[in-house]
Amino acid sequence: MIKQPAPPDIAPPPLRNDCFALPAGVNWTPVDEALALLRERLRPVKAAISMRSVRAFGHILATDVVAARSNPPQPNSAVDGYGFAGAIPEGAHVFPLAEGRAAAGVPFNGTVPAGQAIRVLTGAALPAGVNTVILEEDVNVRDGHIAFHGPLKLRANTRQAGEDVKAGDLVLPAGRRLTSADIGLLAAVGVAEVNVYAPLRVAVMSTGDELVSPGEPAGLGQIFDANRPMLLSLVEQMGFEPVDLGRVGDDPDVLRARLNKAAEQADVILTSGGASAGDEDHVSGLLRQAGAMQQWRIALKPGRPLALGMWNGAPVFGLPGNPVAALVCTLIFARPALSLMAGAGWQMPLGFDLPAAFEKRKKPGRREYLRARVRDGRVEAFHSEGSGRISGLSWSEGLVEIEDGARHIAPGDPIRFIPYSSFNL
Ligand code: AMP
Ligand code: MG
């Protein structure tokens, strides 16, 4: 009989009671502390450029904008009707009509004599001698006269010059990301050119030997690179300029070269995968070697590990490979940091306290984010917290944020819900 060789003298590690316990002796940075550090250390990095206002939607103002012209520029009629000098006391009134009319863009150039009225249309500049307008529905017109009942207040149915914005007023502050409404406001107050920051270029790359691109044949053990297309579109949706740096295997030399290229082409680098402390986690390894900013391990779920560092002057957000964690870390950490670097200031998402539709017990030690949505005024959480469950990202319409300490959430308890729209998504 052949004797079995003796097994190697190696024992499995002792089981942990709590596999989510934080390793002893490791300093985990609380989320708020990590955010405060980013806020303190990062600065706007882009130069200002001049741009036509009509093209500037989504760009960030580099300087305050003051109105070049008042809105409205002159007093005008708010309705179709008849204008005269007010105010008008109670009782019946008959005014003779002056010859002519005032329409939007076609002013009446004469002066309307006291005691006479003139036809005016909505948006028409008020002629000299007119400060009050009566609605056409409230008037009888016959034989070149109008008849109506008072009283009518002085300046009724008119808009005053500058009642909305006065020439010289600050209309939009530096740091503002221009909305469609802002584009309209700029036009209305006669501002045709604005100074905006050049767009922040954000490089995105995926790391991992297991990745193939969607559309390529995928063999055993291979998975499609979901993070890169997700993060590239996320970067674009957040209003930055995405730079596709492709996919890199778990090879430190290739990764080093790709990081060099990324730092040349972009202002910030987002990597996903390889941010942990394992043998093939080369993002964190390289960042540790470069060592310009310490690698932070942030007390966040889903999220750890998240590696932050500098590479040739470009901040690197070494995001976890799990798609859910990659997305959450991008929204919670990268977004405010990118906003600051882009010139829009530090931007935290708006959350709302709403009753929970679920129960959950959470241990102390790290902040937690759940994929969630609101139905019938209550917050539902995705049925699984698995951080590879990318379908839950599509299912969800926002995140639930649970504070760092322990918490027992019972149905009906208030919890903080942050809709994706709060992240500009
Ligand atoms: P890592 O952070 O590299 O240890 O990866 C954690 C998990 O995320 C692993 O299961 C990876 O296969 C997966 N993963 C990493 N990168 C991607 C990616 N780009 N798309 C989808 N899954 C990924
Ligand atoms: Mg990996």
pLDDT of 112 over the 90 cut:
yes
Cβ atoms 323, 227 nearer than 8 A = yes
**pTM of the shown model:** 0.88
Work out the percent of the chain whose per-residue pLDDT is above 90. 78
Q: Are residues 208 and 287 in the same domain?
A: yes
Q: Are residues 154 and 218 in the same domain?
A: no
How many other C-beta atoms can be found within 10 angstroms of the C-beta atom of residue 74? Answer: 12
Looking at ligand 1, which residue's alpha carbon is closest to its atom 11?
321
Q: What are phi and psi of 58, to 5 degrees?
A: 85, -10
Tokens of 281: 């986690």
Cβ atoms 209, 282 nearer than 8 A = no
Q: Assess if residue 70 is contained within a domain.
A: no
Which of 322, 327, 329 to mutate for ligand 1's pocket (most ligand atoms within 8 Å of CB)? 322
Range of the domain at 122: 76-159
For residues 101-106, give the mean pLDDT.
97
Number of domains in the chain: 3
Please give the pLDDT value at position 1: 64
Helices and strands (DSSP H and E) totals, the chain: 8, 28
Tens digits of residue pLDDT in 52-66 = 999 999 999 999 999
pLDDT of 201 over the 50 cut:
yes
CA–centroid distance for 41 within its chain: 21
Cβ atoms 259, 311 nearer than 8 A = yes
pLDDT of 24 over the 60 cut:
no
Looking at ligand 1, which residue's alpha carbon is closest to its atom 5?
321
Q: Are residues 333 and 381 in the same domain?
A: no
* C-alpha pair distances (Å), 313 with each of 243, 268, 292: 17, 9, 9
Tens digits of residue pLDDT in 137-183 = 999 999 999 999 999 999 999 999 999 999 999 999 999 999 999 99
293 pLDDT band (50/70/90 cuts)? low
Please give the pLDDT value at position 121: 98
pLDDT of 18 over the 50 cut:
no
Mean pLDDT, rounded, of the chain: 92
Q: Are residues 311 and 379 in the same domain?
A: no
Q: Which amino acid is at 177?
A: R
33 pLDDT band (50/70/90 cuts)? confident
Cβ atoms 106, 121 nearer than 8 A = no
Q: Are residues 217 and 271 in the same domain?
A: yes
Q: Are residues 220 and 303 in the same domain?
A: yes
pLDDT of 131 over the 90 cut:
yes
Of all atoms in ligand 1, which is nearest to the CA of residue 281? Answer: 3
Looking at ligand 1, which residue's alpha carbon is closest to its atom 14?
321
Q: Which of 159, 189, 217 is the last residue of a domain?
A: 159
Q: Are residues 385 and 321 in the same domain?
A: no
Tokens of 391: 């379908």
For residues 25-39, give the mean pLDDT.
81
For residues 98-123, give the mean pLDDT.
97
Which residues form the pocket of ligand 1, taking CB atoms under 6 Å from any ligand atom?
206, 208, 210-211, 223, 225-228, 272-276, 320-323, 388
Please give the pLDDT value at position 21: 38
Q: What are phi and psi of 120, to 5 degrees?
A: -130, 150
Q: What are phi and psi of 395, to 5 degrees?
A: -65, -40
For residues 307-316, give the mean pLDDT.
87
Q: Which amino acid is at 320?
A: P
Please give the pLDDT value at position 280: 85
Of all atoms in ligand 1, which is nearest to the CA of residue 272? Answer: 16
Please give the pLDDT value at position 308: 83
Q: Assess if residue 408 is contained within a domain.
A: yes
233 pLDDT band (50/70/90 cuts)? very high
Q: Which of 295, 312, 342 is the last residue of a domain?
A: 342
